[in-house]
Structure 1
């Protein structure tokens, strides 16, 4: 008299291909956000120097 058979899941090791794909996706996403941040900062700096060249702003304090 044995009890009912219960199917137990066997633990497998990590899937190397799956980990490589996940790491690549996370890396590309983080890299994309980092690059967008740099493009935004570059745009701000370029806009500042354009306004400085046009004479619309000045870095010298007016008295």
Structure 2
């Protein structure tokens, strides 16, 4: 009989709006931070590649033997 009380209590409880907003903000900030870190890493690699091209240390042209 106690499982019936638990189930009916869970069905009657209304969701906490403040808690849901906090969960959403937290997940959004974490996802945004991960995306921003990915973007910074991609920018860094592109900048390093362009710097190496300007210095002449690498080339995008295939050398023929």
Same-fold call, TM > 0.5? yes
Look up the SS of the partner of 1:59 in the other structure: coil
User: Stretches of 4+ moved more than 6 A in 1?
Assistant: none
Unaligned runs of 5+ in 2: none
State which structure, 1 or 2, has the greater radius of gyration over its C-alpha atoms: 1
1:3 aligned partner: none
Shift in Å at residue 41 of structure 1?
0.3
Q: More helix by proportion, 1 or 2?
A: 2
How large is the Cα RMSD of the aligned pairs? 1.2
The 5 Å alignment of 1:20-35 reads 20-35=21-36
* 3-state DSSP of counterpart to 2:37: helix
TM-score, structure 2 as length reference: 0.81
Q: What is the match of residue 52 of structure 2? A: 51
What are the superposed Cα offsets for residues 7-53 of structure 1, whole Å, 9 maximum, x if unpaired?
x4533111000000000000000000000000000000000000000
- Unaligned stretches of 5+ residues in structure 1: 1-5
